[in-house]
């Protein structure tokens, strides 16, 4: 039978009190609890922040704040989604296991949609239900379970954090946002606030993409939401609003509102529980009244008292309000940088007569940077000259696998170009080549390379195009089908076309 949430929260508060002593034995008192001087400084900084900002962009009195909290939490209690990490955290009495459950979910949800995360989260928690279990896993195991979720450094840092908790902090997760952020690798301000508020009940606000959108609309913040000044203001608002009695629920409610109602392109304002407090909604309604000419003059709707040229939270005068966009005028972001292109020459090196069946050579990427530690086909950064590409690739192959017949290096072509606005900032283009080794060295002689059969490349976590290769998705026909069957370049949607196969491009001139 499901335990009442109030009873669970009461037990959690009691256990937090009991564990306070054991945590202090691991951490210094300054790490666990902010000093009185620090608390006083925080209050003075908050007062200075409010004094420097137009009241139009603030919640000016307690009544507004209380109304926002009550309306949002009542909506959340009715409409919140049933998600596995919420069920696990709500029913978990052990604070460290509860914090771990929240920590895993928050890391997985970074830059990833909820629907995608659900299955990964379930498998992860089944395999490693505690911090101790994760700390004892290998990086290869972590990468394999993470495969397909993207941003692999997240999983690596999550395991590093688990090991630090187990090996250096006595198995206890720090209880405050400040100590979480300072002591655990990969835990930033948002993740620290989420863990501290949801798992430990600390009254600390959080700001993620959904919260940014909600707050920018509610308080009509039209300046670039990624700027330092706007970011600081949003964190101040979040801290002002968070409900001290239900901080975890409040933070999840704010994020849920942005995910379900206050969406980026098609918000459902009629379903919003805080629309009566929303400056953007009020501005839209005022525009409708003016357009209908049902009332003489201008309706009594508050605007920013400061000149827009002076207010650093309002949109710039060169970016006027667009009535057709409605509340989606907020938030506004700076234009994105164009993606950086990186061209590579990639080779599929096969031993067709290897014991146990044909094998391919895989190379491990560096331990830092893009797709760190994953395995891929041998590759080199491509040069402008086709001849230089061929020579550089052959030289690298020989350093990995020993003498190879240069005449057997056959150019196969290029993947289709990436579409504009693709999902990755770093776009990839590649020349694909194939070579079958004869009497070359069967043991690469290097811990960063390995031979694997096509049927069973297990034991290594690999890049997305190798994942497609492993599944054997048929994408090419003809003599190269066996070498490159299913090859797809990052982001795993661009296949080799048979008509693209051609001799190695000649050097210009």
Give 342's strand partners: 428
| Residue 106 to residue 180: CA distance in whole angstroms | 13
Tally of CA atoms within 13 A in the half-sphere of 435 that contains its CB: 27
The verdict on whether omega for the bond into residue 440 sits within 30 degrees of 0, i.e. cis, is no
| Residue 451 to residue 74: CA distance in whole angstroms | 58
| Residue 72 to residue 272: CA distance in whole angstroms | 9
Q: Where are the beta strands (DSSP E) in 285-418?
A: 340-351, 359-364, 375-376, 379-381, 410-413
Q: With the CA atoms of 288, 292, 297 and 301 taken in that order, what torsion angle do they form, in degrees rounded to the nearest 10?
A: -20
**Annotation marks residue 106 as catalytic:** yes
Cα radius of gyration rounded to whole Å, the chain = 28
| Residue 61 to residue 414: CA distance in whole angstroms | 62
The verdict on whether omega for the bond into residue 393 sits within 30 degrees of 0, i.e. cis, is no
Helices (H), 297-439: 386-401
Sign of the Cα torsion 260, 263, 266, 267 reads: positive
How does strand 359-364 pair with strand 410-413?
unpaired
Sign of the Cα torsion 84, 89, 94, 96 reads: positive
What would the two tokens of residue 407 be? 């005449």
| Residue 67 to residue 85: CA distance in whole angstroms | 28
Number of C-beta neighbours around residue 5 at 10 A? 13
Closest CA to 412 of 348, 507, 492: 348
Which of 23, 106, 350, 489 is an active site residue? 106
Catalytic site positions: 106
């Amino acid at each position: 039978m499901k335990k009442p949430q109030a009873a669970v929260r009461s037990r959690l508060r009691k256990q937090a009190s009991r564990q306070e002593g054991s945590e202090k034995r691991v951490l210094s008192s300054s790490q666990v609890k902010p000093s009185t001087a620090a608390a006083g400084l925080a209050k003075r900084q908050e007062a200075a922040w409010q004094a420097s900002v137009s009241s139009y962009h603030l919640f000016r009195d307690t009544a507004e704040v209380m109304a926002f909290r009550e309306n949002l939490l009542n909506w959340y209690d009715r409409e919140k989604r049933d998600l596995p990490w919420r069920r696990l955290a709500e029913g978990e009495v052990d604070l460290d296991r509860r914090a771990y459950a929240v920590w895993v979910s928050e890391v997985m949800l970074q830059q990833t949609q909820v629907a995608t995360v659900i299955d990964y989260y379930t498998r992860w928690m089944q395999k490693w239900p505690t911090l101790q279990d994760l700390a004892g896993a290998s990086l290869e195991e972590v990468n394999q379970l993470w495969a397909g979720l993207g941003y692999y450094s997240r999983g690596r840092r999550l395991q590093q954090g688990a090991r630090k908790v187990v090996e250096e902090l006595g198995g206890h997760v720090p209880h405050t946002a400040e100590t979480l952020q300072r002591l655990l690798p990969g835990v930033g301000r948002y993740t620290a606030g989420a863990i501290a508020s949801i798992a430990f009940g600390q009254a600390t606000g959080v700001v993620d993409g959904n919260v940014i959108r909600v707050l920018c609309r509610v308080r009509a913040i039209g300046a670039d939401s990624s700027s330092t000044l706007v970011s600081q203001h949003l964190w101040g608002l979040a801290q002002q609003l968070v409900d001290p009695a239900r901080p975890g629920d409040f933070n999840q409610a704010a994020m849920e509102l942005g995910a379900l109602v206050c969406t980026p392109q098609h918000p459902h304002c009629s379903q919003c529980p805080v629309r009566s407090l929303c400056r953007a909604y009020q501005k839209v309604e005022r525009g409708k009244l003016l357009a209908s000419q049902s009332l003489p003059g201008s309706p009594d709707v508050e605007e920013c008292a400061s000149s827009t040229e002076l207010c650093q939270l309002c949109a710039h005068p060169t970016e006027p309000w667009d009535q057709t966009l409605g509340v989606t005028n907020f938030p506004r972001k700076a234009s994105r940088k164009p993606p950086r292109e990186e061209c590579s020459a990639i080779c599929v090196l096969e031993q067709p007569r290897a014991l146990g069946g044909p094998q391919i050579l895989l190379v491990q990427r560096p331990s830092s940077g893009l797709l760190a530690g994953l395995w891929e086909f041998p590759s080199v950064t491509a040069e402008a000259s086709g001849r230089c590409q061929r020579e550089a690739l052959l030289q690298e192959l020989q350093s990995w696998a020993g003498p190879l017949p240069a005449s057997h290096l056959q150019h196969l072509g290029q993947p289709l170009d990436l579409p504009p606005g693709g999902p990755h900032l770093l776009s990839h283009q590649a020349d694909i080549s194939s070579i079958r080794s004869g009497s070359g060295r069967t043991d690469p002689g290097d811990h960063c390379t390995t031979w694997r059969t096509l049927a069973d490349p297990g034991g290594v976590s690999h890049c997305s195009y190798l994942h497609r290769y492993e599944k054997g998705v048929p994408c090419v026909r003809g003599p190269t089908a066996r070498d490159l069957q299913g090859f797809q370049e990052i982001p795993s949607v661009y296949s080799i076309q048979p008509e693209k196969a051609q001799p190695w491009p000649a050097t210009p001139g």
